[in-house]
Amino acid sequence: MSINSKSNQKQLNWKVKVQKFGGVMSAMVMPNIGAFIAWGLITSFFIPTGWIPNEYLAGVISPSIIYMLPLLIAYTGGTNIYGGRRGGVIGAIATMGIIVGSDQPMLAGAMLMGALGAWGMKKIDNLFKGKVKPGLEMLVDNFSLGIYGAVLMLAGYIAIGPIFSTLTAMITKGVDWLTQMNLLPFTAILVAPAQVLFLNNAINHGIMVPIGIQQVMEAGRSIMFLVEANVGTWLGLILAFCIYGKGAAKRSAPAAAGILFFGGIGEVVFPYALMKPAVVLGPMLSNIASLFLLQLLHGGTVGAVSPGSFPALLMMTPKGAFAANIAACALATTISFLVVAFILKRDKSPEESKVTTAVPVMTAVTSDAVYERKVKEGIEKVTIVCDAGMGSSAMGLSILKTKCSKAMLDLTINNVSVDHVPQDADIIITNKVLEERVREKLRNEPLLLTIENFLDNNEWDRIVGTIKKYSV
């Protein structure tokens, strides 16, 4: 293997590891976004500076952030690590200790304890597997969970909770220092490239949301929710592609712009940046400028802006911050558009090269010969995979169902997150960026198709053509 090949492989392994870690964190929060929105809405209405201040109704705000949200995260994380209710229950038990042992919201702590509790429970169950006499299974299951849960709860209360409380306080002070020194906006230098690598959910829900909620408890709003989720930073980029893009990129850009603005699905825009990495400079600079403006005008939201759409931004904006948030979004859109337009106008590459970047790479996990023998009876199940299983894959599901219906293909088509790739699918479709993570999950021999642009009809037509090839 050449030195370049080894270097590329190391970079790929690093990227996959970062994606996996981020995916684990975001997978605990994403299913509970509705609960975060509910908490944010109640906060925006009933806190002393809210739309309808009400001391009695505001009484549910603090208990919800202290107990409900961490326990939901822990239960979800436990279920993800050790499938089923057992993993979720031990995750919630483990987290209760750090909740009581701390004087701050334990959202980050819930991610750790939920996963740790479920991982340990899985190991303990494996020790007893096949060694319990018939009739004693329920007794052993209940007492092993109870004893292990009691130990974790006490450990969280005595040691882990106070440690996390100290760490959370240190992080909060660090963010306050960055804000006071006007350095917080420069986090966009790291955030924009990470988004292109499909780490947007991990950054927003794994890092920014816990810090933001802590600030909301103290100040009634936080700009941390807008470090990653300012729709304007990527809206400007895609609008520039609408006017100055080439080939398939230009044709599909208007649809992507609409989906981003109203639906908040950033995954439909990131592939455009992958086509020409230099354009990431647009979202980067625009986010820096918008964060400076948010600091100056005291903008921010009361909860996670998820999905990252303009309507969601308005819904999470508290009284007195509409002008600041809308101005920051408009500024981000303008700067991003101007920077990306400048880069695209100077692009002298032929149109054909832009078109070919949107051609899907289709590779079978096994050889075509092996796969053709496997599917002699026809394809029945197709699965579309994205990072969280809620954005681009859901959109792809709708597109593929429509095209398969027109092609008279009777298939079961579903969408999942990359952490829940099924083993019974005949064909799996995913974004090129997530290919290696999906491959790691596969134990059987499906046909793995990768796609770069979920809005390019040519790519979906090719995929339908491949499905038809193996369906006859």
| Of 259-263, 316-320, 466-470, the least confident | 466-470
Q: Do 435 and 404 meet the contact criterion of CB atoms below 8 Å apart? A: no
Q: How far from 129 is each of 25, 91, 115, 125, 146, CA to CA, in Å?
A: 29, 21, 21, 6, 17
In angstroms and rounded to an integer, the radius of gyration of the C-alpha atoms of the chain is 24
Whole-model pTM: value is 0.68
pLDDT for 372 equals 52
Q: Quick one: pLDDT band at residue 293, thresholds 50, 70, 90?
A: very high
State how far the Cα of 358 lies from the Cα of 344, in Å rounded to an integer.
17
- Indicate the CATH number of 360-471 among 3.40.50.2300, 1.10.569.10, 3.40.430.10, 3.40.30.10: 3.40.50.2300
Residue 350 has pLDDT above 80, yes or no: no
Q: What is residue 359's predicted lDDT score, i.e. its pLDDT?
A: 37
Question: For residue 99, what pLDDT is reported?
Answer: 92
Give Cβ neighbours of residue 250 (< 8 Å, ≥ 6 apart): 241, 242, 244
**Distance between CA atoms of 306 and 30, rounded to whole angstroms?**
9
pLDDT recorded at residue 355: 35
Determine the Cα–Cα distance for residues 191 and 280; give it in Å rounded to an integer: 10
Task: Report the alpha-carbon distance of residue 191 to residue 200 in Å, rounded.
Answer: 8
Under the banding of pLDDT at 50, 70 and 90, the label for residue 324 is very high
Tens-digit pLDDT profile for residues 407-454: 888 888 888 888 788 888 888 998 887 888 888 878 777 888 888 777
- Quick one: what percent of the chain has pLDDT higher than 90? 28
Element (H, E) at 431: strand 427-431
Tokens of 106: 């334990």
Per the CB < 8 A criterion, the answer to whether 307 and 391 are in contact is yes
Helix (H) or strand (E) holding 284: helix 281-297
Q: Pick the more confident residue, 469 or 413.
A: 413
In whole numbers, what is the pLDDT of the chain averaged over residues?
Answer: 82
User: Packing angle between helix 107-128 and helix 3-29, nearest 10 degrees?
Assistant: 100
**Number of C-alpha atoms within 13 angstroms, CB side, residue 86?**
17
**C-alpha span between 201 and 207 (Å, rounded):** 9
Element (H, E) at 381: strand 381-386
Contact 109, 28 (CB under 8 A): no
Top pLDDT among 375 and 414 is at: 414
Owner of token pair 């995954």: 267
pLDDT (average), residues 94-119: 88
Is residue 362 predicted with pLDDT exceeding 50?
no
| Contacts for 125 with CB less than 8 Å, ≥ 6 apart | 86, 141, 144
Tell me if residue 386 is catalytic.
yes
Sign of CA pseudo-dihedral 203, 206, 209, 210: negative
The tokens 């950033």 sit on which residue?
266
Among 197, 109, 86, 217, residue whose Cα is nearest residue 160: 109
C-beta of residue 448 within 8 angstroms of C-beta of residue 363? yes
The arithmetic mean of pLDDT across residues 359-374, rounded, is 47
* Digit-coded pLDDT (tens) for 26-71: 678 778 878 888 888 888 888 887 788 898 998 998 899 889 999 9
Q: Span 380-390, mean pLDDT? A: 82
Which of 84-88, 203-207, 445-449 has the weakest average pLDDT? Answer: 203-207
Q: Where in the chain are the domains?
A: 360-471
**The pair of three-digit structure tokens given for residue 148, joined into one six-digit string:** 């292990």
Q: Are the C-beta atoms of residues 29 and 205 closer than 8 Å to each other?
A: yes
Residue of 242, 329, 386, 404 marked active site: 386
Distance CA 61, CA 133 (A): 48
Question: pLDDT, tens digit, for every residue of 116-175?
Answer: 999 999 999 998 888 888 878 888 888 999 999 999 999 999 988 888 778 777 766 776
